[in-house]
Amino acid sequence: DIQMTQSPSSLSASVGDRVTITCRASQRIGSYLNWYQQKPGKAPKLLIYAASSLQSGVPSRFSGSGSGTDFTLTISNLQPEDFATYYCQQSYSTPQYTFGQGTKLEI
Amino acid sequence: EVLLVESGGGLVQPGGSLRLSCAASGFTFSSYDMHWVRQGTENGLEWVSTIGTAGDTYYAGSVKGRFTISRENAKNSLYLQMTSLRAGDTAVYFCVRGHATGLKYYFDYWGQGTLVTVSS
């Protein structure tokens, strides 16, 4: 199975900051990498698919990059509503859709 | 508007069974793969099972042989029959729609989740 490792596990930032979250796959997965945001008590929400494609309705301050084994999610100009937990997911090795362990973004 | 509404969660004893349901609306249900994803007490997301549009099924190793996914397209419904439940199955279970675009695949809509607690 492909393992997905996110870093850091938690991150403190302030409104207006730019933050980067990293996701590393245990083997090459091309650009088959998705990012989700989850707020407490809510379902995950798709932000980025195929490593860098922004899901409809997601603000442009979110961006994704990478291919192969190393990927990043960048949030520019952090807004109060962005404080949440972020997960990466590989969709290369279907149907084993492995998720990363999550990165909690805190104030 | 795409909506996925899970039901059927609850408290069950170890070794017991439970059937989860997901009512889908707002899209052509029969045209999409559907999935169950769970989130346990350690809060990580774990893919559980998939059913394709042709009825093909797939399971995580942790539930294979104990869980059965099914769908009823005429009722726009997805199910997860869970048997031989263990404490480790305690989690919020999400019904999720899979979406393919070109060669890319992602989970674009999620239900609100239903809590399954396995405890004596």
Contacts of A87 in chain B (CB under 8 A): 45
Across B58-84, average pLDDT: 97
B68-102 in b/e form (b: 16+ CB < 10 A) is bbebeeeebbbbbebeebeeebbbbbbbbbbbeee
Query: Is A87 within 8 Å of B45 when comparing Cβ atoms?
Result: yes
At B7-25, the pLDDT tens digits run: 999 999 999 999 999 999 9
Q: In Å, how far are A38, B48, B75, B94 from A14, measured between CA atoms?
A: 18, 35, 47, 31
Contacts of B105 in chain A (CB under 8 A): 32, 91, 94
At B47-66, the pLDDT tens digits run: 999 999 999 999 999 999 99
A·B CB contacts under 8 A: 58
Contacts of B104 in chain A (CB under 8 A): 31-32, 49-50, 53, 91
Mind spelling out the 3-state secondary structure of chain A?
A: CCCEEEECCEEECCCCCCEEEEEEECCCCCCCEEEEEECCCCCCEEEEECCCEECCCCCCCEEEEEECCEEEEEECCCCHHHCCEEEEEECCCCCCCCECCCEEEEC
User: What was the pLDDT predicted at B68?
Assistant: 98
At A32-77, the pLDDT tens digits run: 999 999 999 999 999 999 999 999 999 999 999 999 999 999 999 9
Q: Is residue B43 over pLDDT 80?
A: no
Chain B nearest C-alpha distance from A11 (Å): 17
Angular region, A29: left φ>0, alpha ψ -120 to 50, beta rest: alpha
User: What was the pLDDT predicted at B58?
Assistant: 96
| Token pair for A96 | 């084993």
Q: Band of the pLDDT at B101, cuts 50, 70, 90?
A: confident
Q: What DSSP designation does B103 have?
A: T
Rounded CA-CA distance A99/B63 in Å is 17
Rounded CA-CA distance A90/B15 in Å is 32
Return all residues near A31 (Cβ < 8 A) that are at least 6 apart: A50, A51, A52, A66, A67, B104
At A11-37, the pLDDT tens digits run: 999 999 999 999 999 999 999 999 999
Q: In Å, how far are A33, A59, B90, B115 from B32, measured between CA atoms?
A: 20, 26, 27, 24
CB A54 within 8 A of CB A76: no
**Measured between CB atoms, does A37 come within 8 Å of chain B?**
no
Query: Is A43 within 8 Å of B104 when comparing Cβ atoms?
Result: no
Measured CB to CB, residues of chain B less than 8 Å from chain A are: 35, 37, 43-47, 50, 58, 60, 94, 101, 104-108, 110-113
Q: Is residue B34 over pLDDT 90?
A: yes
